[in-house]
Amino acid sequence: MQSKNKLVIEISNAIENGKDYTLLVPESLRFVLKSCANAPGGKSEMLTGLKGLPKDSLKLVEMGVFHIDGGYVKVDSDILRAIEKKTNNLESLLVKLKEKARLSAHNL
């Protein structure tokens, strides 16, 4: 973890430990956090308008959980790494389970 932001570290640790990381932010911000974190590359097109960023995204930027990258709102890189690591671990487990099932079916 490279981040010095305590909240980012807590969110990253929760992801790595399989806990609900959205519980670490106020309820009103959970949907926005989860939708951006689950988006490809951990980024979502920034909704711009007359008033700029939507207040939920802006609040997460102020908290250091999101940052603005060009025309996108993006989750912190430590959070994205934790998500990618968890996804890779789950995909690896799935491959192993499929192989075991294939071998078990073959041995019947």
Tokens of 58: 């802006």
Radius of gyration of the chain, Cα coordinates, nearest whole angstrom: 17
Tens digits of residue pLDDT in 44-67? 886 554 467 788 888 999 999 999
Q: How far is residue 103 from each of residues 1, 35, 99, 108, measured CA to CA in Å?
A: 39, 38, 6, 9
Q: Which of 57-61, 87-91, 103-107 has the highest mean pLDDT?
A: 57-61
Tens digits of residue pLDDT in 18-54? 999 999 999 999 999 998 998 888 888 865 544 677 8
Among 54, 50, 87, 65, residue whose Cα is nearest residue 8: 65
Q: What are the boundaries of each domain within the chain?
A: 6-107
* Strands across the sheet containing 43-45: 43-45, 72-75, 66-69
The pTM score is 0.77
